């Protein structure tokens, strides 16, 4: 009897999925801007109240903005970053200070 020819199995490789199944939302930085009028203690109080920073973190962020002009406070989804920046800026405005928080997308 003649030897049977080898069976040729088609190789079907599953396409490698490189895209993550759950897309991570783009994150936004909340940035504190220095000014010449808002008292340091007031800045610290707003950082604690709105961003839940502890006394040490709030003091460091305030001093960094005071010395360098700006400081990243924290990173959130777009909605949360914008809401917190607005609330924190409004807290300064309500007390008569020009305290300003802005947002910026992360690279």
Which residues bind to ligand TYC, rule: CB under 6 A? 32-36, 38-40, 43, 62, 65-66, 99
Closest CB to ligand TYC among residues 53, 65:
65
State the nearest-atom distance from the C-beta of 18 to ligand TYC, in Å. Answer: 42
State the nearest-atom distance from the C-beta of 67 to ligand TYC, in Å. Answer: 9
Closest CB to ligand TYC among residues 12, 94:
94
DSSP per-residue letters across 42-87:
HHHHHHHHHH---HHHHHHHHHHHHHHSEEEEEEEEHHHHHHHHHH
Q: Which of 83, 86, 81, 38 is nearest to 62 (CA)?
A: 38
**Distance separating alpha carbons of residues 91 and 42, to the nearest angstrom:** 10
Residue written as token pair 């939302």: 25
State the nearest-atom distance from the C-beta of 44 to ligand TYC, in Å. Answer: 9
Closest CB to ligand TYC among residues 75, 79:
75
């Amino acid at each position: 009897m003649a030897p049977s020819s080898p069976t040729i199995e088609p190789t079907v490789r599953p396409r490698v999925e490189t895209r993550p199944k759950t897309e991570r939302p783009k994150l936004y930085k909340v940035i504190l801007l220095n000014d010449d009028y808002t008292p340091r203690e007031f800045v610290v109080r707003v950082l604690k109240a709105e961003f839940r920073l502890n006394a040490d973190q709030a003091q460091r962020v305030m001093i960094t903005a005071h010395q360098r002009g700006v400081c990243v406070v924290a990173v959130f989804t777009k909605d949360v970053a914008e809401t917190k920046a607005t609330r924190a800026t409004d807290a300064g405005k309500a007390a008569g200070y020009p305290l300003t928080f802005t947002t910026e997308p992360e690279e």
